[in-house]
């Protein structure tokens, strides 16, 4: 499991210079463009644009801060990182799952690792969410994962593919499917740089109003 953890993308600075998100089966269906900068260990800046390249919003996350620059409504929303779950239904630790990392809350324990017919799985419970991840032992990466709230049937299925060996086996394609609803999104990482990042700054929109997330 040591190499699996060493392959965690979020242990490094990185800059997803260009990526895309295709959403199907929901009211927000369409294709979007994104960029994502990460300064290890816990600073993220996500920019989301429409297919014409017009930015709709920016999300800035640190260990204790969440800032959302909403260009459509000309607002800056602010609060604690955990409030992202209130807005989206997605817990904050999912940011580490997007690029196929193993989420570490302390060390993995032996009883969390399951071997079934030569297949390796990691079973976890984090913040009320239950996760089961399938490991490719040749790549030392997660290839499939399922997360759900408690023991309910509602949850998501994530599959990772198009791994790049030169980039810590980064999955270039990530598909996230709703277990209960007939909707999914496909994330593609087109260009990424693993160079060191000095710092990440959040620049709010000019003359935007500020609104606390409660």
Contacts of 44 (CB under 8 A, 6+ apart): 36, 37, 38, 59, 60, 61, 62, 95, 200
Contacts of 206 (CB under 8 A, 6+ apart): none
- Whether residue 81 contacts residue 61, with contact meaning beta carbons closer than 8 Å, is answered with yes
Contacts of 110 (CB under 8 A, 6+ apart): none
pLDDT tens-place string over residues 3-21? 888 889 999 999 999 999 9
CA 185 to chain centre: 12
**Answer CATH for 2-212 from 3.30.70.940, 3.90.1640.10, 3.40.50.300, 2.50.20.10:** 2.50.20.10
Section 151-171 average pLDDT: 86
Contacts of 139 (CB under 8 A, 6+ apart): 7, 163, 169
Q: Is residue 105 scored above 80 in pLDDT?
A: no
- Residue 178 is encoded by which pair of tokens? 């709703």
pLDDT tens-place string over residues 43-100? 999 999 998 899 999 999 999 999 999 999 999 999 999 999 888 878 899 999 999 9
Q: Find, among 183, 188, 206, the residue nearest to 98 by Cα.
A: 188
Phi first, then psi: give them for residue 5, nearest 5 degrees.
-70, -35
For the chain, the residue count is 214
Q: Is residue 207 scored above 90 in pLDDT?
A: yes
pLDDT at 45: 97
């Amino acid at each position: 499991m040591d190499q699996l953890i060493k392959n965690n993308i979020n242990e490094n600075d990185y800059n997803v210079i260009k990526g895309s998100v295709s959403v199907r089966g929901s009211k927000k269906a369409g294709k979007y463009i994104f960029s994502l900068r990460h300064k290890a260990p816990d600073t993220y800046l996500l920019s989301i644009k429409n297919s014409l390249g017009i930015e709709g919003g920016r999300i800035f996350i640190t260990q204790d801060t969440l800032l959302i620059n909403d260009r459509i409504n000309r607002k800056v929303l602010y609060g604690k990182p955990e409030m992202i779950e209130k807005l989206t239904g997605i817990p904050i630790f999912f940011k580490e799952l997007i690029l196929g990392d193993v989420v570490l809350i302390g060390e993995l324990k032996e009883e969390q690792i399951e071997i079934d017919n030569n297949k390796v799985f990691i079973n976890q419970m984090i913040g009320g969410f239950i996760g089961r991840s399938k490991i490719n032992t040749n790549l030392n990466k997660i290839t499939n994962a399922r997360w759900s709230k408690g023991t309910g049937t509602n949850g998501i299925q994530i599959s990772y593919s198009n791994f790049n060996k030169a980039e810590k086996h980064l999955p270039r394609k990530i598909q996230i499917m709703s277990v209960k609803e007939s909707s999914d999104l496909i994330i593609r990482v087109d260009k990424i740089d693993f160079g060191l990042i000095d710092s990440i700054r959040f620049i709010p929109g000019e003359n935007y109003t500020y609104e606390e997330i409660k």
